[in-house]
C-alpha cells in the first residue's frame, strides 16, 4: 500500500468513527404544556423562578419571537411533528387527532439511522398499541406517553401498553426515562431523537412542598377568583388566583429543575457539545394564570399572548457563543430544520415550516415567508354527518387523568373526512404575519397591527393602511385554499 493510499484510508476511518457526531447530531426537543412566553425569569416575570431556562437563554440561542403554530395544544403538537399547519390534517382543536398518513420527524430520522423516543403528553391521538396514530405507529421506536395531560404520580403507557402509575413528580419521571433511553442509544452507537412533552404547567395544579414554599407570598397578592380543576373531585372549582399561581409556578420550577438534570447528564456523558437541546411551550398562558402582560390575549386566542411561547436552543458545537434573535420562528419549522441538519429530503407535500439553520448560524434575521394562525370552525364539522377518518374504537384513550370530562377520566379523539370544501370552511379566527405587520380576522372584524412598534397589539391600523390589509388578506385566503386542499386528503393521493 502506498503512503498516499494509507493516509486516505486513515482519514476515512477517522471520519467514520469520530466525525459521525458532527455529521449526525443528537436532538432533544422539549415542550411545556400551557407555558406562555412571559412565564420565565429571563423574560422578566416578577415571580416565577426558572434558573435552568435562564441559563440556557444566557448560553445558547434565545428565540425572542418563537410561536406555537396554534393557540391550543393538540394542533400545535401536530405542527411540531409534521412541519405542517394542523388544519391540513384535521387537527382542529384539543382532542382532535392527526392522520396516520402524515409523515413525522420520527419517520424521517428513523430512516436516517436515529433511535427515536417519545416521553410525556402525546394528545394527537390515542397512545395504545392498536391506535394508528400512536407514537409507535408514527415513527417512534419507544415511548412512555399519555393521551393527554397529567400531574403528580402520573399514569403513563409504556410502548402502547396498559397504563401504569409512576410515583413522583411528573417532569422528573419523564426526564429520568429519557435519560435511560439516551444511554441505551449511546451504547448502541446510534444518534437519537428524544421528544419530551411535559405535563406541566397545565391545570389542575400541584407541587412539591419545597417548590410551593418559593411562592408562599402570592395568595396575599392575587385575590381574583379563577376557575380550575379540583385535584380531589376532577370537577371545576373557583379559587383565588394567588393560590392557583403558587401551585402553577411550583410546577414550572419543578419542570425547570428536571431540565437541569437532563443538561447535567448530557455534560457528564460528553454528549452536550453535539446535542441540540430545544425548549418551547405549546401555546400561550391559560386564562386562569394570565397576569395581563406584556402581550394581548391568552391561550385560545390568535393574538400574541395566545401563540408566543418561550423558545431556546442549546448546541455548543453549532452555537458556541450566546445570542438572541427576533426572527419569527414556529413549531412548524422544527421538522424542516431537522431534515436540513441530517441531510434528509422534505416530505413531498405542502409544508408550512422552513429550515432554521441560517438562524442557528446567525445569518438570517427576518423570515422570508409568512406565519399563519387559523382556528378552524370545527363545530360545523362535528355537527355534520362527516365520516370518521379513523374508526372510533381506535380513537378511545386509556390513560386516566384528574380532570373529568363527559363523565370519564380518559380522553377520546376524533378526525373526520372532509372531501368537499365549502365557503364556510374559510371562517374561524385567523391571522397572517408578514414582516412587521399582522392582520387579525374575527369575521367580520379585521385588525391590522405593526408588531414592531406595537407588540401589545393595542393600535388597529386598518383605516390608516387599508392597502396593506387587503394584500395580507389575499395572501391569507390563497394559503387557506392550499390548506383546505390538504384537508380533503389530496396530499396523500399519488
CA distance 221 to 241: 9
Per-residue confidence at 441, pLDDT binned at 50, 70, 90?
A: very high
Evaluate whether 52 touches 257 at the Cβ level (below 8 Å): yes
CA distance 325 to 77: 23
Per-residue confidence at 385, pLDDT binned at 50, 70, 90?
A: confident
Evaluate whether 40 touches 344 at the Cβ level (below 8 Å): no
Q: Which three cell numbers stand for residue 296?
A: 394581548
Q: What is the 3-state secondary structure (H, E, C) of 416-464?
A: ECCCCCCHHHHCCCEEEEECCEEEEEECCEEEEEECCCCCCCCCCCCCC
Sequence-distant (≥ 6) Cβ neighbours of residue 430 within 8 angstroms: 302, 372, 373, 374, 375, 440, 441, 476, 480
Q: Is the pLDDT of residue 5 over 70?
A: no
- DSSP type of residue 87: G
State the pLDDT at residue 9.
Answer: 34
State the pLDDT at residue 8.
Answer: 34
Strands 115-121 and 192-197: parallel
For the chain, domains (ranges, CATH) are 23-371 (3.40.720.10)
CA distance 124 to 132: 11
Q: Is the pLDDT of residue 1 over 70?
A: no
Q: Which three cell numbers stand for residue 467?
A: 392597502
- Count the Cβ atoms, other than its own, within 10 Å of residue 208: 16
470-494 average pLDDT score = 97
228-249 average pLDDT score = 98
Q: Which three cell numbers stand for residue 235?
A: 370537577
- DSSP type of residue 28: E
By percentage, how much of the chain surpasses pLDDT 70? 95
Q: Is the pLDDT of residue 10 over 90?
A: no
What one-character-per-residue DSSP string does 326-351 give?
EEEEEGGGHHHHHHHHHTPPPPSS--
Q: Is the pLDDT of residue 15 over 60?
A: no
Is the peptide bond between 201 and the residue preceding it cis, with omega within 30 degrees of 0? yes
Evaluate whether 399 touches 163 at the Cβ level (below 8 Å): yes
Strands 437-442 and 430-434: antiparallel
pLDDT in tens, 295-334: 999 999 999 999 999 999 999 999 999 999 999 999 999 9
Helix, strand and coil content of the chain, in percent to the nearest 5, comes to 30, 20, 50
Name which of 16-20, 240-244, 475-479 the model is least confident about.
16-20
Name which of 4-13, 64-73, 103-112, 336-345 the model is least confident about.
4-13
Sequence-distant (≥ 6) Cβ neighbours of residue 309 within 8 angstroms: 32, 35, 36, 37, 66, 67, 68, 280, 281, 282, 283, 284
CA distance 372 to 439: 10
CA-to-CA dists, residue 142 to 101, 121, 220, 271, angstroms = 20, 14, 45, 21
CA distance 324 to 312: 9
| Average predicted confidence (pLDDT) for the chain | 95
Q: Is the pLDDT of residue 17 over 60?
A: no
Q: Is the pLDDT of residue 105 over 90?
A: yes
Q: Which three cell numbers stand for residue 440?
A: 387579525
Q: Is the pLDDT of residue 110 over 90?
A: yes
Is the peptide bond between 204 and the residue preceding it cis, with omega within 30 degrees of 0? yes
pLDDT in tens, 117-126: 999 999 999 9
Q: Which three cell numbers stand for residue 431?
A: 391571522
CA distance 30 to 120: 10
249-267 average pLDDT score = 98
CA distance 67 to 280: 9
Per-residue confidence at 384, pLDDT binned at 50, 70, 90?
A: confident
HSE, side-chain direction, 13 A CA sphere, residue 18: 5
Question: Strand, coil or helix: what is 51?
Answer: helix
State the pLDDT at residue 23.
Answer: 66
Q: Which residue has the cell 440556557?
A: 56
State the pLDDT at residue 160.
Answer: 98
CA distance 64 to 309: 9
Per-residue confidence at 383, pLDDT binned at 50, 70, 90?
A: confident
253-282 average pLDDT score = 98
Amino acid at each position: 500500500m502506498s503512503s498516499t493510499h494509507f493516509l486516505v484510508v486513515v482519514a476515512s476511518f477517522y471520519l467514520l468513527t469520530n466525525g459521525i457526531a458532527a455529521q449526525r447530531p443528537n436532538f432533544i426537543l422539549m415542550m411545556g404544556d400551557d407555558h406562555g412566553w412571559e412565564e420565565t425569569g429571563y423574560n422578566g416575570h416578577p415571580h416565577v423562578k426558572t434558573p435552568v431556562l435562564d441559563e440556557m437563554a444566557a448560553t445558547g440561542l434565545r428565540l425572542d419571537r418563537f410561536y406555537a403554530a396554534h393557540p391550543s395544544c393538540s394542533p400545535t403538537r401536530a405542527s411540531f411533528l409534521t412541519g405542517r399547519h394542523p388544519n391540513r390534517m384535521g387537527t382542529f382543536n384539543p382532542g382532535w387527532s392527526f392522520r396516520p398518513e402524515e409523515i413525522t420527524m420520527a419517520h424521517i430520522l428513523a430512516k436516517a439511522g436515529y433511535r427515536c423516543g417519545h416521553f410525556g403528553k402525546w394528545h394527537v391521538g390515542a397512545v395504545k398499541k392498536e391506535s394508528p396514530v400512536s407514537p409507535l405507529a408514527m415513527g417512534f421506536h419507544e415511548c412512555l406517553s399519555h393521551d393527554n395531560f397529567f400531574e403528580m404520580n402520573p399514569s403513563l403507557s409504556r410502548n402502547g401498553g396498559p397504563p401504569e402509575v409512576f410515583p413522583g413528580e411528573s417532569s422528573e419521571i419523564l426526564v429520568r426515562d429519557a435519560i435511560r433511553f439516551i444511554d441505551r442509544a449511546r451504547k448502541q452507537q446510534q444518534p437519537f431523537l428524544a421528544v419530551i412533552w411535559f405535563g406541566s404547567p397545565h391545570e389542575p395544579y400541584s407541587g412539591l412542598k419545597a417548590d410551593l414554599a418559593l411562592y408562599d407570598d402570592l395568595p396575599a397578592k392575587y385575590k381574583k377568583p379563577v376557575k380550575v380543576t379540583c385535584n380531589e373531585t376532577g370537577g371545576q372549582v373557583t379559587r383565588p388566583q394567588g393560590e392557583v399561581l403558587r401551585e402553577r409556578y411550583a410546577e414550572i420550577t419543578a419542570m425547570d429543575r428536571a431540565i437541569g438534570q437532563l443538561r447535567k447528564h448530557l455534560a457528564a456523558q460528553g454528549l452536550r457539545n453535539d446535542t441540540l437541546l430545544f425548549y418551547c411551550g405549546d401555546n400561550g398562558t391559560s386564562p386562569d394564570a394570565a397576569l395581563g402582560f406584556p402581550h394581548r390575549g391568552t391561550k385560545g386566542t390568535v393574538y400574541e399572548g395566545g401563540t408566543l411561547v418561550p423558545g431556546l436552543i442549546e448546541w455548543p458545537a453549532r452555537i458556541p457563543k450566546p445570542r438572541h434573535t427576533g426572527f419569527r420562528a414556529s413549531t412548524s419549522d422544527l421538522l424542516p430544520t431537522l431534515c436540513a441538519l441530517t441531510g434528509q429530503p422534505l416530505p413531498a407535500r405542502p409544508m408550512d415550516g422552513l429550515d432554521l439553520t441560517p438562524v442557528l448560524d446567525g445569518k438570517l434575521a427576518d423570515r422570508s415567508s409568512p406565519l399563519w394562525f387559523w382556528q378552524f370552525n370545527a363545530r360545523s364539522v362535528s355537527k355534520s354527518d362527516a365520516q370518521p377518518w379513523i374508526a372510533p374504537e381506535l380513537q378511545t384513550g386509556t390513560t386516566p387523568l384528574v380532570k373529568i370530562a363527559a363523565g370519564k377520566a380518559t380522553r377520546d379523539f376524533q378526525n373526520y373526512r372532509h372531501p368537499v370544501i365549502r365557503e364556510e370552511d374559510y371562517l374561524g379566527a385567523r391571522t397572517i404575519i408578514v414582516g412587521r405587520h399582522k392582520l387579525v380576522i374575527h369575521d367580520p372584524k379585521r385588525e391590522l397591527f405593526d408588531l414592531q412598534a406595537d407588540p401589545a397589539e393595542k393600535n388597529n391600523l386598518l383605516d390608516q393602511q387599508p392597502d396593506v390589509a387587503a394584500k395580507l388578506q389575499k395572501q391569507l385566503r390563497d394559503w387557506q385554499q392550499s390548506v383546505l386542499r390538504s384537508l380533503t386528503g389530496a396530499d396523500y393521493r399519488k
